[in-house]
Amino acid sequence: MIGTWFEIALWKRILCALILGVIVGAIWGPGAESIKWIGDLFVRLIRMVVVPLVFVTLVSGVVSMGDPSKLGSLGVKTLAIYMGTTLAAILIGLFLAAVLQPGVGVDLSNAVPGTVQEAIPLSERLMSIVPPNPIAALAEGNILAIIFFALLLGVSLLTIGDKGKPLAELMEAGSEAMLRITHWVMEVAPFGVFALIAWVSGTQGVAALLDVVTLAIAVVLGCVVHVIVVHGVLIIKLSLRLSPVMFFRGARDAMLVAFSTSSSSATLPVTMSVAEENLGIKPVVASTVLPLGATINMDGTALYVGIVSVFAAQAFGIELALADYAIIAGSTTLVSIGTAAVPGASLFLMAAVMGAIGISPEQIAVVVGFILPFDRPLDMLRTVVNISGDLSVSTAVANWEDEFDREIFERPLKF
């Protein structure tokens, strides 16, 4: 029986657990919260892997480049395409909000104001990249600071030549060990996913979306369009001449885990694993582009914040000119860079964007209180968008930098 379980493809086990979790949660109701600890344990396991995995794989990846100058072209291309896809997500969200008008006729008088935390200023976010104490950055899980220090260490190992070979080999072995641990942790995924989805379904449920049907439709439609059109068609098919079906097939494990955890950071070990083993992205790119994407690439969040900002303006009767839409697009692009890669983080970023178009702090608090009850189901979908974007950008950068294995990408996977 145990042998049969492991013979089933992991994505099938996760998908069945997800469906079963929805059913059990709907039947069990709030009582499903009693098994949430199983999901929390799974999330803790994959979070345990994140910091050491990012650090050792990034150092090992830089050393494998053989040429520090290659980091420059890789970094510029990565940042450019991340910003481009984020802007595309915002434009899709604004277009759908303008067409569907989810805020027209919505009564916010009964909403309980929520607590709004201001977004991290961009200057402060940039300053935090340089860690005053690298060991503390590792302990706190500050991914941007870890990336910065790992890049410095990797480049230094390249410049000192043979003297750095023992440490470089240690990092390479550490990378292999952390990927093996990630595989072990992923075997727990079906149980963790089941518990998390049962909890969400039992305590919040999809029924909460019925209170704001048009807004939910706009977000869901925007996420689907962005993933399929921008990442599947424009990047994978037209730019790279690859099969979108093969891409999404290779990314499915990471997308399912992203849906259940609602956290790009928690999904990062799985994302890196599928990037190398299913999509043919070599470690030098996977270890650099993906951790950066988990921190700054928030397509789903940007799309959502844009839609909710227009929703709020419509609900309060604020007329938006073309210049206001431009302000939303620009501010959301910048604010999304400061988004924490954790569940519900987008709720804390709306103040900056909505404030830019004249919505008062009191009105922002009312909007946050209104959408909070149904935010979790939509947050799960937004995280799938973020992870899809991370993997498509990594695939593109790997192609452009000749760090892509087409045979692995097109290799038949266990169905």
Model confidence at 348, pLDDT cuts 50, 70, 90, reads low
- Please give the structure tokens belonging to residue 343: 């569940």
Q: Which of 151-155, 236-240, 344-348 has the lowest mean pLDDT?
A: 344-348
The pLDDT, as a whole number, for residue 329 is: 85
The pLDDT, as a whole number, for residue 141 is: 80
Q: Identify whether 24 is part of a domain.
A: yes
Q: Identify whether 162 is part of a domain.
A: yes
Model confidence at 283, pLDDT cuts 50, 70, 90, reads confident
The pLDDT, as a whole number, for residue 274 is: 92
- Please give the structure tokens belonging to residue 315: 């609900």
Determine the 3-state secondary structure of 110 from DSSP: coil
Strand partners, 281: 404
Task: Identify the top-confidence range among 43-57, 72-86, 239-253, 336-350.
Answer: 239-253
| CB contact set of 132 (below 8 Å; sequence gap of 6+) | none
The pLDDT, as a whole number, for residue 252 is: 92
CA angle 348, 349, 352 (to 5 degrees): 125
Q: Measuring CA to CA, which residue among 292, 244, 275 is closest to residue 81?
A: 292
Burial of 7 (0-12, 13-18, 19+ CB in 10 A): exposed
Model confidence at 91, pLDDT cuts 50, 70, 90, reads very high
Q: From the CA atom positions of the chain, what is the Rg in Å?
A: 21
Q: Do residues 113 and 368 make contact, with C-beta atoms less than 8 angstroms apart?
A: yes
Mean pLDDT of 45-66: 84
pLDDT in tens, 251-271: 999 999 999 888 888 888 999
The pLDDT, as a whole number, for residue 255 is: 93
Q: Identify whether 415 is part of a domain.
A: no
* Total of domains in the chain: 1
With 80 as the cut, is the pLDDT of residue 79 above it? yes
The pLDDT, as a whole number, for residue 59 is: 87
The pLDDT, as a whole number, for residue 328 is: 84
pLDDT in tens, 9-30: 787 888 898 889 888 988 888 8
Q: Identify whether 357 is part of a domain.
A: yes
- Provide the domain limits for residue 111: 2-410
CA distance 101 to 400: 40
The pLDDT, as a whole number, for residue 6 is: 73
Number of H helices, E strands in the chain: 19, 0
With 80 as the cut, is the pLDDT of residue 339 above it? no
Q: Tell whether the torsion through CA atoms of 257, 258, 261 and 263 is positive or negative.
A: positive
Cβ atoms < 10 Å from Cβ of 83: 16
- Please give the structure tokens belonging to residue 57: 């794989």
pLDDT in tens, 355-380: 778 788 778 778 877 777 777 788 88
State the CATH number of the domain containing residue 352: 1.10.3860.10
CA angle 348, 200, 273 (to 5 degrees): 80
Mean pLDDT of 33-52: 88
Determine the 3-state secondary structure of 404 from DSSP: strand
With 80 as the cut, is the pLDDT of residue 125 above it? no
CA angle 287, 290, 294 (to 5 degrees): 135
The pLDDT, as a whole number, for residue 114 is: 57
Q: Identify whether 215 is part of a domain.
A: yes
With 90 as the cut, is the pLDDT of residue 330 above it? no
The pLDDT, as a whole number, for residue 250 is: 92
The pLDDT, as a whole number, for residue 62 is: 80
Burial of 132 (0-12, 13-18, 19+ CB in 10 A): exposed
The pLDDT, as a whole number, for residue 238 is: 94
pTM: 0.82
pLDDT in tens, 166-212: 998 998 899 889 888 988 888 888 898 899 888 888 876 655 556 57
